[in-house]
Structure 1
Amino acid sequence: MEYGRLVELYAELSATEANTEQTALIARTLTARPETVELLVTLLQGRPFVAWDDRDLGVSSSLTRTAIAKATGHSEAQIEEWWRETGDLGSAAARAIENDRQQTLFGQSLTVEGVQDTLEAIAAYDGAGSQERKVDAIAGLLSDAEPETAQYLVRTVLENLRIGVGEGTIRDAIAQAFLGGSEADIAAVERAYQVTNDYRTVAAVARGSGVEGLAELEIQVGRPIAVMLAEKAESVRTGMDRVAPDGPVLAEYKYDGMRAQVHVDGADVTVFTRRLADVTAQFPDVVAAVQEHVDAEQAILEGEIVGYDPETGGTLPFQTLSKRIKRKYDLQATKTEIPVTLLLFDAMYVEESLLEAPLTQRLDRLESVLTESTQEIERARNCMSEDPAAIEALYEDALAAGQEGIMVKNPAATYQPGNRVGYMMKVKPTLETLDLVVTRATYSEGRRSNQLGRLYLGCRDASGEFKEVGRLSTGFTDEELATVTERLEPLIVETEGRDVVLDPELVLEVEFEEIQASPEYDSSYALRFPRFVGFRDDLAVSDVDTLDRVERLYDQ
């Protein structure tokens, strides 16, 4: 397939606001281009790989700017100027191509397959000279590109396509293209994606085997699945009534750590975050503990990795643990500085899929394979009861231990990947922190004038759009503010003076004193005295708190 045809589709989707029209456009393309279906379903989301594939292009905006300059003959300063003017490095690339100083007489026609091959090669470059090879590869693509093609190539390299196509649109398009598009068809695609996290596989099976083929897809050791998500309850009693009004509930500590999915395949152990990132290398102690104390040939277990202080035995906050998650070098030092415990609370697979098994059965299987509890690995602290007083006591114990609260679960519930289904509720203090996304920002004044220090925060409404709930400008150390700026500047899509509009990707945890009604923000609410707590790199943008949640807190 000629890459130019894909670029035409990108442009058409970008100009189309209605999700139903976007879905129909993609469905028609998938039907007409069966040979490239598996590539299209990822490239249309602005990434070259499936969600659980941990390959990373590793290309920064500055490297891409260098590649644009190399391909076009313009200086990096000129590319930088165009970038500032447009707020989009892809648009700067298009302008550079339009004014190309070193146009070649003969260019090669780009294909979707060829571009994909180049992206995979870029992801594989490592070691000495790898950055130069990445620049050369990107420059090679751009040298054969028309302006609009260059725009979308650069956006793809930076994995920021900006055409408004998310996983839900791809799901609906697959259902419409190959199954008919009914609610049942969409549900079949959704379920298949939840157990594979791979729209390439889902699209191929839907095209070849229909609904029946999708139903046969199952979880697979080594391929992470979307974790089951919890809703928030305002109190212990509310949570109990919601998940199991006529029987006992299982309550567990909600730890201030990193949710982890552990895959066991013989002697091989792989650790994934809830966002499906492979962090096995960062946690060799977890791998060793599982190898020694989990007796299973194949298993997928779920738990929380929590840091602890080796001197006091007390747990460490997530922000301290996050240093290990991000660290890629000198791992032995961080292992010693921040030792961890793996606290297991579920089993989705033990020699066979357990997704359809009730929680009690899944926990029995978990207990059967955990041969010993140690400082490095143990069961999460829990209580099974229908007595609210017993569950309240566990809740108070969790807070006294410095944890976030408790999880309340239905013991008879099956595992529902990716769904907030009411089978599991989290109970935390009423006025708590919120997880919000940064939508806009303003550069500070004075000595911090080069830092984005005024951040506008958004929650999700029922349609998935972001509604702002206030501005954050306090709680940062100088080091944190520098990190915030470093992480936000690549997300700038529009600049006006010192104000910038951002792609909503960075999720922050924010504490506040109260919520008040406010006409200043499109949510109609504002956080009073919000304060930065930390980054929530373990959360996807789809996990940020909802407007409904903000409204409920306001009503209280």
Structure 2
Amino acid sequence: MGLVQFLDLAATSAAVAAVSGRKAKIDLLAAALRRLDPDEIAAGSAYLAGELRQRQTGVGYAALRDRPAPAAEASLTVREVDERIAEISVVAGAGSQARRRDLLGSLFAKATGDEQRLLIGLFGGELRQGAQAGLLADAIARAAEVPVTAVRRALLLSGDLKKVAVAALVGGAPALSGISLQVGTPLTPMLAASAPDVGAALLSTGAPATADVKLDGIRIQVHRSGDEIAVFTRSLDDITSRLPGVVAEVRALPVSEIVLDGEAMALDANGRPRPFQETSSRAATRGPAGKKNGGAPAGNKGSGAPAGEKGGGAPVGSGELRPYFFDLLHLDGTDLLDEPGRVRWAVLSEALPAELIVGRRTVETEEQAAEAFAAAIAAGQEGLVIKAPEAPYDVGRRGSAWVKVKPRHTLDLVVLAVEWGHGRRKGWLSNLHLGARDPLTGGFVMLGKTFKGLTDELLRWQTERFQELAVADNGWVVTVRPEQVVEIAFDGVQTSPRYPGGVALRFARVLRYRDDKPADQADTIDMVITIGNGGADQSAASDRT
């Protein structure tokens, strides 16, 4: 089997984006997967899923804008693209920015126009061609001629579509069956759906249900085998060396093997959560050099998990994050994934001291759930996660067994600019630049961008609308007259040096356009700052529940 041209994957990506039927998409993807050389499967399957094999490349939007003219003829193979991106991803040290720019320019110079469009989508993380992981799992099964259930199970346990693709296409069903929960290898965490209130959440889970406090921290998955401990984020990044306090707490447990799911967060002297950005910043700071798997002393344990009902608990050591766990996936040789939640949680309560377990209670009525929700918010937390006690741990899926409830904020903001879309949104104006009104100057202060919540109907409408309002178009960003008001929902406000107002919105998404409201009646930057100072969900990051 010969090496596959990168142009072939670009053509497949465009074809997948152009068709709407699931079966047609699977057929296209499966055909492309079959053509890949064994050495290209990991990179090729990642590209078809709309992502890079390398998690971090250091390439930002600015670098993608300044690119050479496309090549006239295709010459790149999938393997060469992967090798070149791998080289870019490890550039570091003095002169790294120039070196990275040169390497990126060299790659784009060899790429045709279609290949450049695929590369832009991959580097920018905005390749929305309808080939999400679930669809790729079906395509892998089709290409490898193995049961799709085997592929999905392997994907859920490994959390690595590339690994599953290689196993299925090279080793078939036997190789897939060899993928199981391995202590030390992170698995994709179970996720929670959302509900506007506790009543709606209970309709999904049924009653009685378990109400867990939704902590204002980062999601962590901790694996221990003997004295070896690893801590992973929700996105499966290894942050063991950054959380020595978490490592110390888990090492002190009287167990041999354990896999725990939970959160870590920074607390103040009163046991209340610090702003999420502080937690995130501490998690991003590496611990003392030379200490394998952390190893700092545990410090004071405190009196229990923060819940508004069990007290606070002092921080674990100076400046360290404190762990709280809500699920147990493996204990001393026994997998618990398929056990009902009530069984997992009972084993968790026996294996861990109460102060390391998230605040939780059983609720049978909406009134009880509302009381628990109010207590969590009063304690400075994000809200609740309502859980069905009979549900297994549904690895990697967001179903109705876990439902999160958080306060929702909305603002009426003004669109300042719009970016041209890529992939499925090619030809449409997509990513909105959002601004709040500045009452002192009469101008607008940018708060960030979003393309979330946009239906095809809204995309068509706003493409026409913002071309009417356009004052400049550089081929990437269309600057518009600040006249169109849009209602934005968001989870909170965070400080941000990227924007002139010093703040940005967290998880912003479009609710509707407000043609009934002129721009001079949009919400002000003062209101945004007030929301942020109120302590309501000042968080930002991908490592959330």
- TM surpasses 0.5: yes
Aligned to 1:412: 390
Tell me which of 283, 305, 322 is aligned to 2:280: 322
- The 8 Å contact of residues 434 and 449 in structure 2, kept in 1 or not, is answered as yes
Query: For the structure 1 residues 186 and 94, does the alpha-carbon distance in structure 2 shift closer, same or farther, using more than 3 Å as the test?
Result: farther
Q: Which amino acid aligns with 2:132?
A: G
Tell me which of 41, 45, 51 is aligned to 2:49: 45
Work out the CA distance in 1 between the residues paired with 2:125 and 2:237.
16
Tell me which of 452, 459, 477 is aligned to 1:458: 452
Aligned to 2:166: 204
Q: Which amino acid aligns with 2:87?
A: A
Work out the CA distance in 1 between the residues paired with 2:542 and 2:461.
22
Aligned to 1:365: 347
Q: Which amino acid aligns with 2:329?
A: M
Aligned to 1:492: none
Query: For the structure 1 residues 205 and 362, does the alpha-carbon distance in structure 2 shift closer, same or farther, using more than 3 Å as the test?
Result: same
Aligned to 2:475: none
Work out the CA distance in 2 between the residues paired with 1:321 and 1:122.
30
- What is the SS of the residue equivalent to 2:348? helix
Deviation, structure 1 residue 2: 4.3
Query: For the structure 1 residues 409 and 329, does the alpha-carbon distance in structure 2 shift closer, same or farther, using more than 3 Å as the test?
Result: closer
Determine whether 1:93 maps to 2:68.
yes
Deviation, structure 1 residue 152: 4.2
Aligned to 1:500: none
Tell me which of 60, 63, 88 is aligned to 1:122: 88
Per-residue CA deviations over 1:58-107 (Å, capped at 9, x if unaligned) read 23345x46xxxxxxxxxxxxxxxxx4xxxxx5xx4335x57xxxxxxxx9
Deviation, structure 1 residue 479: 6.1
Aligned to 2:381: 403
- The 8 Å contact of residues 496 and 503 in structure 2, kept in 1 or not, is answered as no
Determine whether 1:28 maps to 2:31.
yes
Query: For the structure 1 residues 324 and 483, does the alpha-carbon distance in structure 2 shift closer, same or farther, using more than 3 Å as the test?
Result: farther
Unaligned ranges ≥5, structure 1? 66-82, 84-88, 99-106, 489-505, 522-526, 544-556
Deviation, structure 1 residue 307: 1.8
Work out the CA distance in 1 between the residues paired with 2:17 and 2:194.
37
- What is the SS of the residue equivalent to 2:336? coil
Determine whether 1:261 maps to 2:224.
no
Deviation, structure 1 residue 432: 5.4
Tell me which of 136, 143, 149 is aligned to 1:170: 136
Aligned to 1:440: 432
Work out the CA distance in 2 between the residues paired with 1:315 and 1:373.
18
- What is the SS of the residue equivalent to 2:183? coil
Aligned to 2:482: none
- CA RMSD of the aligned region, Å? 4.8
Deviation, structure 1 residue 300: 1.6
Work out the CA distance in 2 between the residues paired with 1:478 and 1:364.
37
- The 8 Å contact of residues 383 and 391 in structure 1, kept in 2 or not, is answered as no
- What is the SS of the residue equivalent to 2:507? strand
Deviation, structure 1 residue 195: 1.4
Query: For the structure 1 residues 473 and 484, does the alpha-carbon distance in structure 2 shift closer, same or farther, using more than 3 Å as the test?
Result: farther
Deviation, structure 1 residue 356: 0.8
Deviation, structure 1 residue 15: 6.4
Work out the CA distance in 1 between the residues paired with 2:489 and 2:193.
29
Work out the CA distance in 1 between the residues paired with 2:180 and 2:348.
20
Aligned to 2:301: none
Determine whether 1:230 maps to 2:234.
no
Work out the CA distance in 2 between the residues paired with 1:186 and 1:212.
13
Per-residue CA deviations over 1:244-301 (Å, capped at 9, x if unaligned) read 44xx43222222222221122333322222233333343222222222x333333220
Per-residue CA deviations over 1:288-334 (Å, capped at 9, x if unaligned) read 2222x333333220112122113x332223243233344569999x9
- The 8 Å contact of residues 7 and 114 in structure 2, kept in 1 or not, is answered as no
Q: Which amino acid aligns with 1:344?
A: F
Aligned to 1:287: 247
Query: For the structure 1 residues 236 and 113, does the alpha-carbon distance in structure 2 shift closer, same or farther, using more than 3 Å as the test?
Result: closer
- The 8 Å contact of residues 211 and 361 in structure 2, kept in 1 or not, is answered as yes
Aligned to 2:233: 273
Aligned to 1:300: 259
- The 8 Å contact of residues 194 and 403 in structure 2, kept in 1 or not, is answered as yes
Q: Which amino acid aligns with 1:482?
A: R
Tell me which of 315, 337, 361 is aligned to 1:355: 337
Query: For the structure 1 residues 193 and 9, does the alpha-carbon distance in structure 2 shift closer, same or farther, using more than 3 Å as the test?
Result: same
Deviation, structure 1 residue 42: 0.6
Deviation, structure 1 residue 206: 3.0
Aligned pair count reads 462
Query: For the structure 1 residues 120 and 463, does the alpha-carbon distance in structure 2 shift closer, same or farther, using more than 3 Å as the test?
Result: farther
Tell me which of 56, 75, 78 is aligned to 1:112: 78
- The 8 Å contact of residues 227 and 417 in structure 1, kept in 2 or not, is answered as yes
Work out the CA distance in 1 between the residues paired with 2:492 and 2:132.
32
Work out the CA distance in 1 between the residues paired with 2:189 and 2:176.
19
Work out the CA distance in 1 between the residues paired with 2:104 and 2:61.
12
Work out the CA distance in 2 between the residues paired with 1:404 and 1:507.
13
Deviation, structure 1 residue 110: 3.5
- The 8 Å contact of residues 227 and 274 in structure 1, kept in 2 or not, is answered as yes
Deviation, structure 1 residue 162: 6.2
Query: For the structure 1 residues 508 and 15, does the alpha-carbon distance in structure 2 shift closer, same or farther, using more than 3 Å as the test?
Result: closer
Work out the CA distance in 1 between the residues paired with 2:457 and 2:396.
17
- The 8 Å contact of residues 12 and 29 in structure 2, kept in 1 or not, is answered as no
Query: For the structure 1 residues 164 and 253, does the alpha-carbon distance in structure 2 shift closer, same or farther, using more than 3 Å as the test?
Result: closer
- What is the SS of the residue equivalent to 2:240? coil
Instruction: Name the % identity.
Output: 25
Q: State the TM-score, normalized to the length of structure 1.
A: 0.67
Query: For the structure 1 residues 60 and 177, does the alpha-carbon distance in structure 2 shift closer, same or farther, using more than 3 Å as the test?
Result: same
Per-residue CA deviations over 1:416-465 (Å, capped at 9, x if unaligned) read 01223322233445x6579x9x9312678997989644756633779999
Aligned to 1:549: none
Aligned to 2:326: 345
Deviation, structure 1 residue 198: 1.3
- The 8 Å contact of residues 93 and 147 in structure 1, kept in 2 or not, is answered as no
Work out the CA distance in 2 between the residues paired with 1:356 and 1:231.
20
- What is the SS of the residue equivalent to 1:94? coil
Query: For the structure 1 residues 2 and 384, does the alpha-carbon distance in structure 2 shift closer, same or farther, using more than 3 Å as the test?
Result: closer
Aligned to 1:508: 507
Work out the CA distance in 2 between the residues paired with 1:258 and 1:224.
16
Work out the CA distance in 1 between the residues paired with 2:58 and 2:373.
43
Work out the CA distance in 1 between the residues paired with 2:458 and 2:386.
26
> Which is richer in helix?
1
Work out the CA distance in 1 between the residues paired with 2:373 and 2:502.
38
Query: For the structure 1 residues 203 and 487, does the alpha-carbon distance in structure 2 shift closer, same or farther, using more than 3 Å as the test?
Result: farther
Work out the CA distance in 2 between the residues paired with 1:386 and 1:476.
30
Aligned to 1:219: 181
Q: Which amino acid aligns with 1:313?
A: G
Work out the CA distance in 2 between the residues paired with 1:451 and 1:432.
19
Work out the CA distance in 2 between the residues paired with 1:165 and 1:482.
32
Q: State the TM-score, normalized to the length of structure 2.
A: 0.68
- What is the SS of the residue equivalent to 1:482? coil
Work out the CA distance in 2 between the residues paired with 1:26 and 1:274.
27
